[in-house]
Structure formats: C-alpha cells, structure tokens
Amino acid sequence: MKSLSEEKVQFMPFEVLLDQDQIARRIAEMGKQITEDYAAQTPVLVGVLKGGVVFLADLMREIKLPMELEFVSAASYRHGTTPSDNVVLGGELSIPLKGRHVLIVEGVVDSGNTVSAILRQIRKLQPVSIEVVTLIDKPASHRMRLDIKYKGFSIGNDFVIGFGLDNTQRYRNLPFIGRVIEQ
Ligand code: IMP
Ligand code: MG
C-alpha cells in the first residue's frame, strides 16, 4: 500500500540534459581550476545541504590540495520582507572561518536568494576570501547581481533533477541531470 506522502509525489517526465560523462569532465576541470587558484592554501569547502552534496563529493576529490569540509543547510520560507530574509540557515559550523579561504558549494543557483543569504551570514565570520561554486547556474532567474566565480553549467529556466537536485525530495540519486518536461 502506498503511503500518503508517496501518493503526493508525482512522477516527473524528464529527459537527460547533462549526462554522467559530461558532468564528470566538467567537475574535473573545475577541480583543476580551484587547485590552481588556491595553490599553497587550505580552503574550507562549505557544502549546501542537501542539493550540493553529490557535486561536492565529486568536486572535493578533484581538488589536489589540503582542504577542510563544512556544511550549512538552507530552507526557504514565504515570509520575511526581502527574499533572502526568507532563507533560514541551519547547521553548526565547527571550523572557525575567520581568516580562511571559503568556497560555498551549491548544486543549483536559481533566484540567488539562498546563496546570497549564505554569503551574508558567512561574511560575518570574517573569512579572508569567499567564492561560490555551483554545478548549475540559471542566470536568467537571478533576482540580484551575483558574483559566481565557478559554475559548471549555465542553463535556462528549466527545472532540473538528479545529481543531488530534487523534486519534492525525490530524484536526488539520479546519476545525471534531467530536465523536467512541462506537460
Ligand atoms: P534560489 O532561488 O537560488 O534561492 O534556489 C532555491 C533552491 O531552490 C535551491 O537551493 C534548490 O534547492 C531549489 N531549486 C532551484 N532550482 C531548482 C531546480 O531546477 N531543481 C531542483 N531544485 C531547484
Ligand atoms: Mg529542493
């Protein structure tokens, strides 16, 4: 028998937008770039839960430097006066970020509200540098000026699933990025 929550999850028809090889090749390039840019540093990678974890796991193994790992979680709400006020951060940081080189690792940047809220919070901790790394960027959806130094792929306004990204918590385990087909 299906549970109530299972019945609420709709099957999403999708097509492959980015296959496993394409993603792996791009992540290897990004890791190489970060390795060069942070030579002789020990960056702290701050993964954004949950959507950033699959990308993060692959990316960190392409970074050939000593590095440290942290996580933050972000949840959006429809209250608050500005969009980034609607993003509530969770998770205790155990590594002090003061004086560190920080890389925020996201799965997807859409409106930019989430990443802006995270940047604002982390800047308060006085890192020496802070940059954003995202697997997927949707530049046409940004609602503010965003400086994203490392992006895997720029796409249009499509809703995508897989490689950590969900639709109602499902599909994160797809090993590729699928584009949901609007019906
Ligand atoms: P934001 O609009 O940039 O703040 O993105 C908010 C959150 O929406 C992201 O962290 C994702 O969790 C989710 N999101 C945005 N676009 C997509 C998508 O195409 N697929 C899956 N999740 C998405
Ligand atoms: Mg989501």
Is residue 10 one of the residues assigned to a domain? Answer: no
Is residue 176 one of the residues assigned to a domain? Answer: yes
Name the residue of 46, 121, 165, 172 whose CB sits within 8 Å of the most ligand 1 atoms, as the mutation to test its pocket.
165
pTM: 0.91
Query: How many folded domains does the chain comprise?
Result: 1
Q: Is 132 in the pocket of ligand 1 (CB under 6 A)?
A: no
- Give the relative orientation of helices 53-60 and 20-37 as an angle to the nearest 10 degrees: 60
Kindly give the number of the ligand 1 atom that is closest to the alpha carbon of 136: 19
Is residue 18 one of the residues assigned to a domain? Answer: no
pLDDT over 80 at 22, yes or no: yes
Q: Which residues place a Cβ less than 5 A from the ion ligand 2?
A: 166
pLDDT over 90 at 150, yes or no: yes
pLDDT band at 94 (very low <50, low <70, confident <90, very high): confident
Is residue 59 one of the residues assigned to a domain? Answer: yes
Q: Is 160 in the pocket of ligand 1 (CB under 6 A)?
A: yes
According to DSSP, the residues that pair with 19 across neighbouring strands are: none
Q: Is 97 in the pocket of ligand 1 (CB under 6 A)?
A: no
Is residue 80 one of the residues assigned to a domain? Answer: no
pLDDT band at 60 (very low <50, low <70, confident <90, very high): very high
Is residue 154 one of the residues assigned to a domain? Answer: yes
Domain membership of residue 137 as a residue range: 24-75+86-180
Any idea which ligand is nearest the CA of 76? 1
pLDDT band at 97 (very low <50, low <70, confident <90, very high): very high
Q: Is 109 in the pocket of ligand 1 (CB under 6 A)?
A: yes
What percent of the chain is predicted at pLDDT more than 70?
A: 88
Q: Which two tokens stand for residue 147?
A: 């400086």
Catalytic residue among 19, 37, 58, 110: 110
pLDDT over 70 at 78, yes or no: no
Residue-level pLDDT at 90: 75
Is residue 15 one of the residues assigned to a domain? Answer: no
CA distance 64 to 42: 10
pLDDT over 70 at 154, yes or no: yes
127 within 8 A of 145, measured Cβ to Cβ: no
Say how many Å lie between the CA of residue 165 and the centre of ligand 2: 6
Kindly give the number of the ligand 1 atom that is closest to the alpha carbon of 142: 3
CA distance 127 to 97: 5
Residue-level pLDDT at 123: 95
Is residue 17 one of the residues assigned to a domain? Answer: no
CATH number of the structural domain spanning residue 170: 3.40.50.2020
> Is 166 a catalytic site residue?
no
